[in-house]
Structure 1
Amino acid sequence: MKAFGWLAVVVLSVAAWNGSAPAAHAAPGCRQLDAALPWYGDVRERLQAVIDAHSTCTGTWKRPTQAVALFDWDNTEVKNDISDATLAWMLRHDKIRQPADWHATSRYITEAATTALREACGTATPAGRPLPTSTNVACADEILAVREGKTHDEQEAFSGYNQRWSNGAYVWTVALTTGYTAEEVTEFAQAAKRENLDAPIGAEQTIGTTTVPGYVRIYPQIKDLIGTLQAHGVRTWVISASSEVVAKVWSPEIGIPTNQVIGVRSVYDTNGKQTPHVRGCGGQPDGADTVITYVDGKRCWANQVVFGVQGPTAFEPFDVDKRQILAAGDSTTDVTFVDDATAAHLAINRDKTELMCRAYDNADGKWLINPMFIDPYPQRVDPYLCATDGRTNPDGSTGPLLRSDGTVIADQKDTVF
């Protein structure tokens, strides 16, 4: 089936849509999603129905506070990853500084990873000085490998953290800008943004000996969705597992103001220099490095920043009458806050098990699935093993994925691609 092969999916989607979005019709002059931008099946129509049913323009939204929609960033609003794009630019321009000790870059980095980084990057560069990653191929390769969570020889790079609250590699990637001010990191991200937006779709680059994507593109469908939500009085936010500083550089490209961006928030020293540590959520202290915008941590940060929930309660679902009406994501990273949405859960299919298990199970009839808008993945051959390995546990193991009523989600076939 092609990425935008419609008929079978239209039938399936209409059957799955249970009418839970109130019927509403656009009033004259109310913005509608651009019909010229292709969505999968009837996803555009269903999104428009949700917008019209929660709209200050149509008059259906009567509450005193604005409706809210939350969007992941990487591979949800754009094709490719802005953290990866910024890191690649930094490696090519020798912007990563030699740490005094690689152990200091993360509370959760393993001995295998620190040894591999020390051997690859050497000790000749004094602490605090830029590593020559543009010419030291082994160092660049090792940093890119650890960014993915394992050393170049496939040993685990991080351990000992709650994997529903954080991701060791993500926090470490943010920590690679330790010693810089937020303004300096902004400059790096702006340079990477210009380069990646100017590069043609499909462009690649070689860092060390590693081939990585060389372009980023805004998805026009998502930009149109955000603009339409805003025109109907819905407040739109970015909730990203990238550095918040980097995400704020990109958010204007899609029409979301920088004060409505939540990402990984670094701790800064008294001189305004970034430290390797991050701010906390849900009662976890700043600098403990326990909770970032990752899986259940994304719910925590959304609840804390968007809705003002303080303390451990931020880890729990917020009031069903006040939380986000719509949420969108592409990965297991996003599954909790996307599932919390009350009117529509938009899943961009990037073949991530926990998210796609919930999306295909469609327990409340409000899940919408769309392939990636650029270079979508082919159909997954084997079913998602939701019933045995669908959920990532805090220790990183996997187990059965359960619905809210405690029943097990059956294995699911990949049908939207």
Structure 2
Amino acid sequence: MPRPSRALTAACAAAAVVACLVTPPTAAASEAASGQGHRCPQLQLADHWYGDNAAKIQQVIDERGRCGAHRGGKKPLAVFDWDNTVIKNDISDQTIFYMLRNDKILQPRDRDWHNTSRYMTDAGADALSAACGTDARPGKPLPTSTDIDCADELLSVRKEAKTTGGEDVFAGYDHREMEASYAWVAQLNAGYRPDEVRQIARDARKAALRAPVGATQRVGSSSEVAWVRYYPEIKDLIGTLNRAGFDTWIVSASPKETADVWGSEVGIPPNRTIGIESLTTHGRINGHLAGCGGIADGEDAIMPYVDGKRCFVNKNILGIKGEAQLDPAPEAKRQALAGGDATTDVTMLADATGVRVTLNRNKDELMCRAYDNADGRWAVNPMFVEPLPALDRTYPCSTTAYENADGTVGPVLRTDGTVIPDQADTVHG
């Protein structure tokens, strides 16, 4: 990996003229900083970033934040995915692993696994029933700490969206607006109160942060990742954005209750966390999901995933109503900065008007757009912990990197309709 350049991180001079050190500063940003006499918040870990990424990010902070265009007006917006963007590893995985190891998965209503997802196939429901049995009453814990077959079947659904026999567990959903196996993680909480789900998440978080880097744990018959770490560089970025006057949000494809628990560590409270939002009946999660973009609550047809992330940003942050939530917001309202690592984040990143921080996890559509970098706003960075080596192939941008709503694949297109050519993996560990 090429040696990262050291971005300029000196603070603004506390003199008659206060000028932010950026590369290079725009006249507007310098003038605004001088006129307001503010100290421009600077990335403290700028030299940890790849290439000139820190300089790109700092320029957006200086231009859009309180040293620049903001200056006490409407706050600029920044949005971040969570799993493998703000942290290394996955909080939904760790929560499910904890639940399986501690008998926290509840027998579904009527002992019928179809009731856990409207997209559950007969093959999926039959496999789960056969593995987990019917002895436990609905709403009571399944003994997954000792019932290896049940734990393995549940884990296979979570990780592969397939039965242990290789059959599809979910079918019939819009692949640009949700991922049924991700939604299922939230739907498995049916029967719990939201505070009980948050407590499970707190317990799982404590275990994951205590585990040494590289540690594994036994879940069913499998050996699974046992640890999570916050990226200091992203924590520094979020803190810098907050000090610069940005409105900073988490937009996660994990359950909201889980994201709420993890976000406070980086200065993002629950009222600025978007996740899979579960509906309740008499205070208990009922297995149905909040809607967006003209899709009603309880239809379970959309979540913060690919185009669904745009929808919930527009709904929950920008206050856009109805079907227009699925359309790009007016440019002046959209996020100045976005961060993500996977195709689930691609629409949210593409909507960003300043810089699109892209951690390279070799996800085809995202990396096609990031490497194509048609407008120069993408900033590709290796993961800060255990970065991946160079991909041993090109990204198939011109043929199969785009997943359509029906699950079929095709080429990735630019906004002008032209096909993105295949891309080499050039920014890696």
Decide which of 341, 345, 355 is 1:344's aligned counterpart: 355
Shift in Å, 1:275: 1.1
Q: What is the CA–CA distance in structure 2 between the aligned matches of 1:304 and 1:189, rounded to whole Å?
A: 26
1:141 to partner: Cα distance: 0.9
Quote the Cα distance in structure 1 between the aligned partners of 2:103 and 2:242: 40
2:278 matched to which residue of 1? Answer: 266
Contact kept, 8 Å, 2:178 with 2:306, in 1: the verdict is yes
Partner of 2:359, secondary structure, is strand
130, 154, 157: which is aligned to 2:169?
Answer: 157
Q: For 1:196 and 1:184, how far apart are their aligned partners in 2? A: 18
2:51 corresponds to: 41
SS for the counterpart of 2:78 is strand
Instruction: Measure the CA separation in 2 of the matches of 1:199 and 1:157.
Output: 32
Aligned mate of 2:90, from 56, 72, 81: 81
Q: Is the 8 A contact 1:37 1:220 kept in 2?
A: no
Query: Which consecutive unaligned segments of at least 5 residues does structure 1 have?
Result: 8-17
Residue 137 of structure 2 aligns to which amino acid in structure 1? P
Match of 1:358 in 2: 369
Q: CA deviation at 1:176?
A: 1.1
| Displacement of 1:55 | 1.6
1:136-169 CA distance string (max 9 Å, x none): 1111111111012111122111000000001110
Matched with 2:406 is 395
What is the SS of the residue equivalent to 1:387? coil
Aligned partners of 2:4 and 2:50 also within 8 Å: yes
| Aligned equivalent of 1:52, options 62, 67, 71 | 62
Check whether the contact 1:102–1:118 (CA below 8 A) recurs between aligned residues: yes
Measured in 2, the distance between the counterparts of 1:247 and 1:5 equals 34
Q: 2:148 aligns with which of 137, 142, 147?
A: 137
Determine if the alignment matches structure 1 residue 414 to structure 2 residue 425: yes
* 8 Å CA contact retained: 1:280, 1:291: yes
Q: Which position in structure 1 is the counterpart of 2:226?
A: 214
Q: Secondary structure at the match of 1:268?
A: strand
- Hey, what does 1:15 align to over in structure 2? none
Question: How many angstroms apart in 1 are the aligned matches of 2:293 and 2:427?
Answer: 36
What TM-score do you get using the length of structure 1 for normalisation?
Answer: 0.93
The answer to whether the Cα contact below 8 Å between 1:21 and 1:50 also exists between their aligned partners in 2 is no
Q: CA deviation at 1:46?
A: 1.3
The reply on whether 1:177 has 2:186 as its aligned counterpart is no
What's the counterpart of residue 250 of structure 1?
A: 262
Q: 1:391 to 1:163 in 2, by over 3 A?
A: same
Distance 1:352 1:258 in 2: 28
Structure 2 Cα separation of the partners of residues 47 and 407 of structure 1: 28
| Residue of 386, 395, 416 corresponding to 1:405 | 416
Q: Given the superposition, is the C-alpha separation of residues 321 and 21 from structure 1 closer, same or farther in structure 2, using an over 3 Å criterion? A: farther
- Asked whether the 8 Å contact 2:216–2:224 carries over to 1, the reply is yes
The residue number in structure 1 matching 2:123 is: 112
Given that residues 174 and 242 in structure 1 are in contact (C-alpha distance below 8 angstroms), is that contact kept between their aligned partners in structure 2?
Answer: yes
Q: 1:111 to 1:101 in 2, by over 3 A?
A: same
Partners in 2 of 1:382 and 1:375 — Cα distance?
A: 20
Instruction: Tell me how far apart the structure 1 counterparts of residues 102 and 234 of structure 2 sit (CA, whole Å).
Output: 32
**SS state of the match for residue 141, structure 1?**
helix
Q: TM-score, normalising length from structure 2? A: 0.91
Q: Distance in 1 between matches of 2:220 and 2:384?
A: 30
Question: Does 2:344 match 1:328?
Answer: no
- 1:330-378 CA-to-partner distances (Å, cap 9, x unmatched) read 0000000110000111111011001000000001001000111111111
Corresponding residue number in structure 1 for 2:242? 230
Q: Which residue of 2 aligns with 1:283?
A: 294
Of residues 191, 208, 214, the one that matches 1:196 is 208
SS in 2 for 1:30: coil
| Paired residues of 1:239 and 1:262 also in contact (CA < 8 A) | yes
Cα separation, 2, equivalents of 1:226 and 1:257: 12
Deviation at 1:5, TM superposition (A): 3.3
Offset at residue 21 of structure 1 (A): 7.8
CA distances 1:271-297 after superposition (whole Å, capped 9, x unpaired): 211011101001111110011000000
What's 1:10 paired with? Answer: none
Structure 1 residue 112: Cα displacement: 1.2
Q: What whole-Å deviation, never above 9, does each CA across 1:247-276 have from its counterpart, x for those lacking one?
A: 00010011111100000000101x211011
C-alpha deviation, 1:29, in angstroms: 2.6
Give 3-state SS (helix, strand or coil) of 1:321's partner.
helix
Cα deviations by residue, 1:235-254 (Å, 9 ceiling, x for unpaired): 10000000001100010011
> Does the C-alpha gap of structure 1 residues 391 and 22 become closer, same or farther in structure 2, counting only changes over 3 Å?
farther
CA contact (8 A) 2:45 2:236 kept: no
